[in-house]
Amino acid sequence: MSNEVSMSISVKEASDLSNQGNIDRRKPDYLDQLEAEAIYIMREVAGQFERPALLFSGGKDSITLVRLAQKAFAPGKIPFPLVHIDTGHNFVEATDYRDMLAEKTGSKLIVRYVEDTIKAKNLKEPTGKNASRNWLQTFTLLDTIEEFGFDACIGGARRDEEKARAKERIFSFRDEFGQWDPKRQRPELWNLFNGRIHKGENVRVFPISNWTELDVWAYLQREGITLPSIYFAHERECILRDGRLLYNTPVIEKDPEDQIVTRQVRFRTVGDMTCTAAVESSAATLEEVIAEITVSRISERGETRIDDQQTEAAMEDRKKGGYF
Amino acid sequence: MDLLRFITAGSVDDGKSTLIGRLLFDTKNILADQMEAIERASKSRNDGEIDLALLTDGLRSEREQGITIDVAYKYFQTPNRKFISIDAPGHIQYTRNMVTGASNADLAIILVDARHGVAEQTRRHSLIASMLGIPHVVVAINKMDLVGNSEDAFLEIAKTYQDLAQKLNIKDLTIIPVSALNGDNIVDRSKNMPWYTGETLLSVLETVNVLKDKNTTDGRFSVQYVIRPQTEELHDYRGYAGRLQSGSLRKGEAVKILPSGTESKIARIEFGGQEIIEAGVFESVTILLEDDVDISRGDMIVSVDNSPIVSQDIEALVCWMDDRKTLKAGDKYLLQHGTARTKCSVRSIEYQIDINSYEKLDEVESLKLNDVARIILRTAQPIAYDPYQQNRANGAAILIDETSNVTVGACMVE
């Protein structure tokens, strides 16, 4: 017993000492390395393009992007607008957070609505059980890029999310129709990013390409960033469908087999309500969320994204069509 | 915990994707739904055996043809380190992808099929690893189970490879007999090869010292962007945003701005708006100078007593990457080095290097896709560079076609 006590003291002292000795900034932690790389990429966008934009969804990845952009350009403001393509089916917690963050950082916020595109272009909206406006965002996004003449759009996609994304460059060239051609990607060498384009073309830039989901959570925790409340456990009325919990909202068409249940849940990703599922959880803090994800045996998109489940190449096809 | 970026290279069917799959699987980095997806996909193919290669093949045509056509990145970790695995295709026409993947790698795993020994592609991949200055090379002699786990077979291939490595610039070489399919000597020590007493692949990946590989001596800072808030309280603020390519810079240090040669002193260094005293290699910081000097994107701030070479005439090894046009003497391109971009013209092709035999070929008229050659360039503006093998970050450059805007060449300045 006395042995244990003295051991725990010596361990504590040792860690205090190592903390003191750990002020050598030339031994960066992996989060510092990822952060430095992302800031470098942000600055390359500001340096190489005339009209960049940051695609902001209110989700944790784009919240991370905003923090990185703040750090990249401090004490100046972020030198590009935040752009949100709103499906009209977004969680109110996420859109409230979006407005608050834009105000706090003094950034210009541009919101364009899928609803308006549907009306203006007379698009046919998908209907039925798993209908989602997610894919229709592409039309609004491309229109918005054209409206403002954006030559670069910064996005929060990560390569660990999905197999097609694992093959995409950090500076990802899109033709004048917004299309991604996986077979004709520009070689991306060292940290030399080639953002040269012709008028009408644009580049999608992914500064956190090399981050994993856990890295994002760990970074948010380290930076002490407050997230929208839906990322933490709360009571919510849900639709139980095919083993998944969807928010019981009027925008989701009900099916006779759906069960309405009230559960304690949190969201692991925050996208359109129609294609983002919740997970049952009691995690109320970032620390608890990280602990749950660390032991989770299911991937982020596998657990929560309904749009990827349709075919083996769902994301590849969407990206070729101009998706984020 | 630190981060290691490694590339895997090998011939078609050497089992690269299987090796990565095995590393992920044996380190418990494959999640349940990913495993189910692979099982489902494996069942619909040939023999129904679980194919770990399916973890990395991301594009439809890759899955259809069972090959990897583009650089794929995978992320995993062990209690000791985080890893970024870069999977470069082995197919001959995709050498440019290996160069792309190798440019950011700390370590290269070169796969050799134990049945075939050192093949033409092994020679090619080794040359690229050496040319791109990857500090650590691990040769994984795979499919040992198909040669009866024979020590003699291993030793013979290892000997051939060591002879080959003599001709190259490989600083740290490890050779390991493995079976990616069975997991021998990947994460767990092989029971089938008791004669092998060296390290497993994972153990090399976890312990290789990457800190020592960084150039911490030559202070080089490329200016990316000038921060000028122009608000009332920050009226005169002028900060140079950039990243330390190598070395470190300190507050109060005397510096030189290149290519102009103007001298000044560092007044302040900031990170995320907070003052810091010193910035180290690869850190993204903002530098403020004591004097009001004219600096813009593309300029470089360096230690005053340790200067790179500043010149308009440069010699470089180039790997040509365009499949539509060739490179010839007299051609004009944009050269991107650090954050500087300048026009350049090709003075001459000195010689081409046969990437299989390593022989020099003289009197070469033009370079086509995947060719490697030594060329002489004349730039419109002087560039401030260090020889690539001394300083990877400040010796690297790319050639851009001005009309198509495509990246057409990878240059290692000598």
Amino acid sitting at position A190: W
Residue-level pLDDT at A250? 81
The counts of H helices and E strands in chain A are 10, 10
ipTM score here? 0.93
| Nearest residue of B to residue A188, measured between CA atoms | B100
Residue-level pLDDT at A108? 94
> Is the bond leading into A75 cis (omega within 30 degrees of zero)?
yes
Q: Tell me the three state secondary structure of residue B18.
A: helix
Cβ(A269)–Cβ(A304) below 8 Å: yes
Residue among B34, B73, B282 whose CB faces A36 most closely: B282
| Nearest residue of A to residue B84, measured between CA atoms | A210
Strand order in the sheet with A109-113: A109-113, A82-86, A52-55, A152-154, A202-205, A171-174
Secondary structure letter of residue A77 according to DSSP: P
The residue of B40, B60, B80 whose CB has the most chain A CBs within 10 angstroms, and thus the best one to mutate to test that interface, is B60
Higher pLDDT, residue A8 or B97: B97
Residue-level pLDDT at A124? 80
Residue A306's alpha-carbon distances to A134, A225, A241, B54, B138, in angstroms, are 10, 28, 11, 21, 41
Residue A156's alpha-carbon distances to A59, A63, A99, A213, B22, in angstroms, are 9, 9, 18, 11, 29
C-alpha angle A68-A72-A75 in degrees, rounded to nearest 5: 115
Shortest CA gap B396–chain A (Å) = 7
Residue-level pLDDT at B338? 95
Concatenating the DSSP letter of every residue in A62-75 gives HHHHHHHHHHHHTT
Residues with Cβ within 8 Å of A251's Cβ and at least 6 positions away in sequence, in order, are A88, A89, A273, A274
The residue of B55, B74, B227, B406 whose CB has the most chain A CBs within 10 angstroms, and thus the best one to mutate to test that interface, is B227
Cβ(B216)–Cβ(B247) below 8 Å: yes
Burial class (CB in 10 A: 0-12, 13-18, 19+), B378: middle
Is the pLDDT confidence value at A15 over 50? no
Distance, in Å, from the CA atom of A281 to the CA atom of A231, rounded to the nearest integer, reads 10
pTM: 0.90
**B103–A212 CB contact, under 8 Å:** no
Q: Which helix (H) or strand (E) holds B66?
A: none
Percent pLDDT > 70 in chain B is: 91
What band does B87 get if pLDDT is binned at 50, 70 and 90? confident
Ranked by mean pLDDT, the top range of A125-129, A306-310, B132-136 is B132-136
The phi, psi pair for A149, rounded to 5°, reads 65, 35
Cβ(A29)–Cβ(A219) below 8 Å: no
Percent pLDDT > 90 in chain B is: 71
Residue-level pLDDT at B364? 94
**Over the Cα atoms of chain A, what is R_g?**
21
- For CA atoms B338, B341, B347, B351, the dihedral sign is positive
Distance, in Å, from the CA atom of A113 to the CA atom of A124, rounded to the nearest integer, reads 15
Lowest-pLDDT choice from A284-288, A294-298, B317-321: A294-298
Question: CA torsion angle for A54, A58, A62, A64 (degrees, to 10)?
Answer: 130
Residue A48's alpha-carbon distances to A71, A322, B225, B374, B380, in angstroms, are 18, 22, 9, 29, 19
What are B198-239's pLDDT values in tens digits? 999 999 999 999 888 889 999 999 999 999 998 888 888 999
What are B132-183's pLDDT values in tens digits? 999 999 999 999 999 999 999 999 999 999 999 999 989 899 999 999 989 9
Residue-level pLDDT at A19? 34
Residues of A in contact with B99 (CB under 8 A): 187, 189
| Nearest residue of A to residue B82, measured between CA atoms | A30
Residue B273's alpha-carbon distances to A42, A71, A77, B239, in angstroms, are 16, 7, 11, 10
Is the pLDDT confidence value at A251 over 90? no
Closest CA relative to residue A118, chosen from A153, A89, A98: A89
The phi, psi pair for B208, rounded to 5°, reads -60, 135
Residues of B in contact with A36 (CB under 8 A): 243, 282-284
Shortest CA gap A284–chain B (Å) = 24
**B33–A302 CB contact, under 8 Å:** yes
Residue among B34, B99, B278 whose CB faces A302 most closely: B34
Higher pLDDT, residue B52 or B378: B378
What band does B45 get if pLDDT is binned at 50, 70 and 90? low
Residue-level pLDDT at B62? 60
Concatenating the DSSP letter of every residue in B353-409 gives E-TTT--EE-S--EE-TT-EEEEEEEEEEEEEE--TTT-HHHHEEEEE-TTT--EEE
Q: Tell me the three state secondary structure of residue B245.
A: strand
Strands B340-353 and B372-385: antiparallel
What band does B298 get if pLDDT is binned at 50, 70 and 90? very high
Higher pLDDT, residue B13 or B398: B398
**A75–B273 CB contact, under 8 Å:** yes
Shortest CA gap B391–chain A (Å) = 12
The residue of B2, B3, B233 whose CB has the most chain A CBs within 10 angstroms, and thus the best one to mutate to test that interface, is B3
